[in-house]
Structure 1
Amino acid sequence: MKKYLAASLLALGFSCNSNENNNKDTTAVQVDQETLARHIETLASDDFMGRMPFTEGEEKTVNYLQEEFSKLGVSPGNGDSYFQEVPLVEITGTPSETMKISGQGTEFDLEFFEEFVALTLKPEEEVSLENSELVFAGYGIVAPEYGWNDYEGVDWEGKTAVVLVNDPGFATGDSTLFKGNEMTYYGRWTYKYEEAGRQGAAGVIIIHETEPASYGWNVVQSGWTGAQLNLESDAPVADVQGWVTREAAEKLFEASTLENKNYNELALSDGFKATPMGINASVSITNEIDRNTSKNVIAVVEGSERKDEYIFYTAHWDHLGIGRPIEGDSIYNGAVDNASGTAALIAIAEAFKKGEQPKRSIAFIAVTAEEQGLLGSAYYAENPIFPPEKTVAVINIDALQSPGKMKDLTITGFGHSEMDEYAKEAAEKQDRYIIPDPEAEKGFFYRSDHFNFAKIGIPALYASGSHEGFDMSAGEVKAMNDEYSANRYHQPSDEYDPETTELSGVREDLQLFYEIGLKLANEDYFPKWYEGSEFKAAREKN
């Protein structure tokens, strides 16, 4: 998912490197900008139909990647195949046109798409909520380490949890609550759905608000309608998973028996407990079900000495395919998200093939179904081709754009591992400075594929030039990013225009990623997680 450009520079004590810095390595192979541009243009073209898994667009995409890696002389990564098959179930759900709300002498309907969306992960022809009691469950979090349990004291069978997005630290700005303004995994929509399933709820509805979600209702509309993919799993799930708009939520709370109608205030009140709202919801979903296999694409440049040790470059190749037309355009091309990252894998692979053979092996992994919940990387993490204990690090590339060469390198997940130090050294060679993601409250670290590799202990770098350009101020960069997030993110307008797309800054990021990977490949050190990172234990276990 898109990592938006950083909104503002924080006073964090990182020093800018002046143009007097003479550490530039002029001997390194250069990542080719024309290669990058050519592949973005192809992958984001209408011919690839938005690169949705299980479609002709997938076949074109994975075959294209196989052909391009093969042309470069980059070897298949899964035995004699470039593919890792990822079994998925596709559910195309059609919700009822309305969600009926009743109780306390009142009845009204919420309108599908405009006021609510709903889907199911259960591979059944029809699922429904029939007069399911709505229970406000605050943030929908069970976090023993923080002494927090929003579900306690309720028998959830047959009931629907109504919950807020993000977590309490963001809402209050209180640094003593969770991680303060920085979103934890408890704040992600994926966690909200998972926890409701574990609690045995029949349904779960997240209240959408743009600031804590970090995206508008239009993103929910495009992402939670149409075909949905998931890994086959025995994990418990709620029958119905949905969202409602803020305005629809206000209707629900006004109709409820709750004395405090301010749900944000109520969720943070002293001694909050999940509370019945005194109203019920009914909605049904009819499903078309298809079980099929998507593909991760894996290619390897074999090392000369320690060929059984690997550095990963990852990017997701998928986007949203063909969906609801907007201004007459129904193809969601995903040029920035993530034709840019997929093309980057090819460009970096080309650079490695031009240079001397690295001592460690380099794996390029283009994963499927990121837009559906990081599914391709989740499947790889559960079924690794290369042993995690022999995997040195992962550099994830997702949704790169910039207005030109950037002064900064913004690191999402800064402070987790020694990959920060590798990034700082590489950035200084480009006269750049590093900063942590100033928008940590948006939880970007949990929204792209490196997260699944981190969960199995592999140190991850997820970064880009995102804040301040050499020729553009931070304010101008922010304005550009705001325009993208409001008008093009997950919309058909995320298209590639060779006349207007500026790639010099993206190329600089890729050069930096290449040089970090090259350094890792030619040493024998394994970067470590820092003390306090939740991923450290998984590495030590391996």
Structure 2
Amino acid sequence: MKNIKFTLLLLACGFTAAVSAQDVASITQAETTRIVSTLSADNMEGRATFTPGIEKAADFIQNEFQRIGLKPLPGEDDFKQTFSMYRVSPKEQEVKLNGKEIKPEKVFAITDKKELKWTNKGKQKVVTVGEKDNFRTVLGELNNEQQDVLVLVHPKHEDLFSRYQHYLSSGSVKKQLTQGSSKVLVLTDQAKAPKYKVEVENKIEQLQLTNVGGMIEGKRKDEYVVFSGHYDHIGIEAPVAGDSIANGADDDAAGTTAMIMLADYYKQQPQPERSLLFVAFTAEEIGGFGSKHFSEQLNPDQIVAMFNIEMVGKPSKFGPNSAYLTGFERSDLGTLMQQRLQGTNYSIHPDPYPEQNLFYRSDNATLARLGVPAHTISSVQIDQDKTYHTVNDELEQLDMEHLTNMIKAIALGSAGVVSGEDTPTRVDKSQVR
């Protein structure tokens, strides 16, 4: 009798494993390769925000959602969730200190205003960053300053000053233009400014951004499970060996591909218990504006979980077919996934790079701040990866078998949340900055 029971148990286990294998059989390496190859191709021009390349990528993702048979997101008429932002770009900057003209490369302004015209007869506050002062600390304090400020920065801080100046020279993106205070920073050996003249002119553009999202409506229509990845990247960079396109194959064509493949997979299954939202976020690389807009369209209390997927095209430090979950300790979503993956070839681990602050560096952070069990699944060895944000992040760097297996792992690991059998604990909002 014991032998019969044991045989039946083995058969049952074998049957379960066979079903699991069959369930994810539709997730193929050929289809994975087709999608990630298209998203990371040179003709997408690196998918930078506000470029024709990212618009082309949005069209491709929309067509994939149409092919799969998804519905638009709640409250949307089509798959493109479009919204407006402002880009503020420096046009002209002229500064004179005590009668001495300052070179433009030694000036930058932090302002939403189209024009600034200051003289020492105005109401600006003058702050000096001396040789021994901490420039970063002063910048942090300036964020809370309500008054317009002219900041005189000692040349010792030239390296950090130049980095900020270069970053702002390409413009800043803002959801709203405010009437708040402005700051003008000048790299100078002058410690006082009894006489000054500042003139700043900016170019202000109202531009459109687009998330691409679709849905499979569940039996519980108002309980949502989100699968996401950001489809933007950094665009055209300085040429390296004649190549100037930062294709963003791993970051994050890989994650976007996984999201699309999961949409296709779940569409082929019976109607899920919970509604499934599949979203390709825009503008992650310049401030996470896509996920922020998305979070404002839904009640976060109705979002049961978010599986954000980023940089899953290369094996993790834990070996083949493994990934890690950022912010693992902030909810039990990772533990629930681990339980679902027991007995498979796949595994999910806590984030091994806490010093990298990855929990806050992707689109999961916006919803996590609202209490949603929102985490990013990744496998990149971020401390060693040499292609991150370079022109070398190309298709040839990806391990296609690993990427395909990561999609299968997420499909199996998310099954309990999708079916309504698993409900992860909420993130403590007070513990998320």
Supply the distance in 1 between the matched residues of 2:263 and 2:153 (Cα, whole angstroms). Answer: 41
CA separation of 1:226 and 1:234: change in aligned 2, threshold 3 A: closer
User: 1:56 aligns to what?
Assistant: 52
1:69 shift after superposition: 0.5
1:363 shift after superposition: 0.3
CA separation of 1:440 and 1:119: change in aligned 2, threshold 3 A: farther
Supply the distance in 2 between the matched residues of 1:348 and 1:127 (Cα, whole angstroms). Answer: 54
1:81 has 2:71 as partner: no
8 A Cα contact 1:127 1:285, kept in partner: yes
8 A Cα contact 2:87 2:207, kept in partner: yes
8 A Cα contact 2:340 2:415, kept in partner: no
SS in 2 for 1:92: strand
8 A Cα contact 1:92 1:226, kept in partner: yes
User: 1:311 aligns to what?
Assistant: 225
Supply the distance in 2 between the matched residues of 1:221 and 1:333 (Cα, whole angstroms). Answer: 26
1:129 shift after superposition: 11
1:314 shift after superposition: 1.4
Aligned-residue identity in percent: 27
Instruction: Give the aligned CA root-mean-square deviation in angstroms.
Output: 4.2
Supply the distance in 2 between the matched residues of 1:221 and 1:494 (Cα, whole angstroms). Answer: 26
Residue by residue over 1:177-218, the C-alpha shift from the partner in whole angstroms, topping out at 9 and shown as x without a partner, is xxxxxxxxxxxxxxx76x6322337378999xxxxxxxx999
1:333 has 2:247 as partner: yes
8 A Cα contact 1:465 1:505, kept in partner: no
* Equivalence map 1:124-203=2 (5 Å): 124-125=114-115, 132-135=126-129, 162-163=135-136, 196-200=142-146, 202=149
* Equivalence map 1:282-431=2 (5 Å): 286-303=201-218, 305-381=219-295, 383-384=296-297, 386-403=298-315, 406=320, 408-431=322-345
CA separation of 1:526 and 1:68: change in aligned 2, threshold 3 A: same
1:89 shift after superposition: 0.7
1:392 shift after superposition: 0.8
Supply the distance in 2 between the matched residues of 1:71 and 1:231 (Cα, whole angstroms). Answer: 33
Supply the distance in 2 between the matched residues of 1:392 and 1:330 (Cα, whole angstroms). Answer: 41
Supply the distance in 2 between the matched residues of 1:380 and 1:388 (Cα, whole angstroms). Answer: 10
8 A Cα contact 1:93 1:120, kept in partner: no
Aligned equivalent of 2:172, options 228, 233, 237: 228
CA separation of 1:525 and 1:436: change in aligned 2, threshold 3 A: closer
- Which structure is richer in relative contact order (CA contacts within 8 A, separation 6 or more)? 1
SS in 2 for 1:133: strand
**Structure 1: 5+ residue runs without aligned partners?**
1-20, 140-160, 166-191, 208-215, 243-247, 257-277, 468-477, 537-542
1:282 shift after superposition: 10
Residue by residue over 1:415-469, the C-alpha shift from the partner in whole angstroms, topping out at 9 and shown as x without a partner, is 10011212322443434555432321221111111100111221112122356xx
Supply the distance in 2 between the matched residues of 1:403 and 1:129 (Cα, whole angstroms). Answer: 58
CA separation of 1:75 and 1:319: change in aligned 2, threshold 3 A: same
TM-score, length basis structure 1: 0.63
Q: Which moved more, 1:409-418 or 1:362-371?
A: 409-418
* Equivalence map 1:229-248=2 (5 Å): 229-234=173-178, 236=180, 238-239=182-183
1:60 shift after superposition: 1.0
CA separation of 1:434 and 1:343: change in aligned 2, threshold 3 A: closer
8 A Cα contact 1:406 1:465, kept in partner: no
8 A Cα contact 1:401 1:506, kept in partner: yes
8 A Cα contact 1:312 1:395, kept in partner: yes
User: 2:64 aligns to what?
Assistant: 68
1:308 shift after superposition: 2.0
1:506 has 2:403 as partner: yes
* Equivalence map 1:202-217=2 (5 Å): 202=149
**Structure 2: 5+ residue runs without aligned partners?**
1-12, 155-159
TM-score, length basis structure 2: 0.77
Q: What letter corresponds to residue 286 of structure 2 in structure 1? A: Q
More helix by share: 2
1:482 has 2:384 as partner: yes
